[in-house]
Amino acid sequence: MSDLGAIAALYQQVDNYLEGLRDRYDAASETEDRDSVARQQRLNEQAYFVLAWGQFEARISDACRDAIRRGHQEWRYRRADDVDILDYHGWQGGGCMFNQYAGATERRV
Amino acid sequence: MGTVLEDVTSETIDAEHIKRRVDDWARRVKDLYATIGGWLPDGWRTCEGEPILMQEELMRKFGVERIEIPTLMLLGQGDDAARLEPRGLWIIGGNGRIDLKRDGRRYLIVDMSENFEAPDWQVAPAERRCDREAVTEDWLRRVLR
């Protein structure tokens, strides 16, 4: 989570630049260019949202890993949880993975 | 259809639903303009600005015709002015956003309501997006001061 402030600041910097560009096109009545910049702003916003969400996922992942390690001294138990969380749900199941992490954290912390 | 997230992830939405959402957005924008027009301090007036073309991704995906959404100018004495400009309906974390620009500052007005519910307009400066407050007459007067 420590990177969130830097991510937000960088997003704002890029968005301010694009907003200035958009204003110039708007003032010149160049509507196609203005709308093109607006689409870039939206894409930029979505990209930074995903980046911020990644920080959140990393935090949950760290908390789960810590909880699992605290809960089991023996490697064979920890391994089973790791495989279940990371391989079964896989990258495509981001929401499921999140629920699994959150559930695991709740049970073990 | 309850939330914005459901709008963009559901497999059951259709063009009719998207059209209803767009019409609802146009109505909410118009209503907010009317409300803000009624809150203006003495010496200020409103004037319809150049419209913005609305053609969002879901509209293109479902073949819903693009529409023009009006902007609103707030005109004070001399060069004193502000501008309200709709920026999008399907946005992250809200149910539509309108920007207000004044003197190089930008305020993001976001409807925090769920789909087809009564609007819950909240606003924050672009540089401090978490510092939200309700859109009220008091807020508008502070901005236009």
Q: Model ipTM?
A: 0.75
For chain B, percent of residues with pLDDT exceeding 90:
79
Q: How far apart are the first and last CA of chain A?
A: 19
Mutate to test the interface with B, among A13, A18, A22, A26 (most CBs of B within 10 A): A26
Q: Give yes or no for residue A103 having a pLDDT over 80.
A: no
Cβ-based contacts of A12 with chain B (< 8 Å): 126-127
HEC letters along A56-107: HHHHHHHHHHHHHHHHCCCHHHHHHHHHHHHHHCCCCCHHHHHHHHHHHHHH
The model's pTM is: 0.77
Number of Cβ pairs < 8 A linking chain A and chain B: 15
The Cα angle at residue B27 between residues B21 and B33, in degrees rounded to 5: 135
Cβ-based contacts of B87 with chain A (< 8 Å): 38
- Could you please report the per-residue DSSP string of B37-90? HHHPPTT-EEEEEEEEEE--HHHHHTTPPPEEEEEEEEE-STT-EEEEEEEESS
- Beta carbons of B92 and A46 less than 8 Å apart: yes
Q: Which residue has the higher pLDDT, A90 or B128?
A: B128
Task: Give the chain A residue whose CA is nearest to the CA of B125.
Answer: A12
Q: Checking phi first, is residue B84 left (phi over 0); if not, alpha (psi -120 to 50) or beta?
A: beta
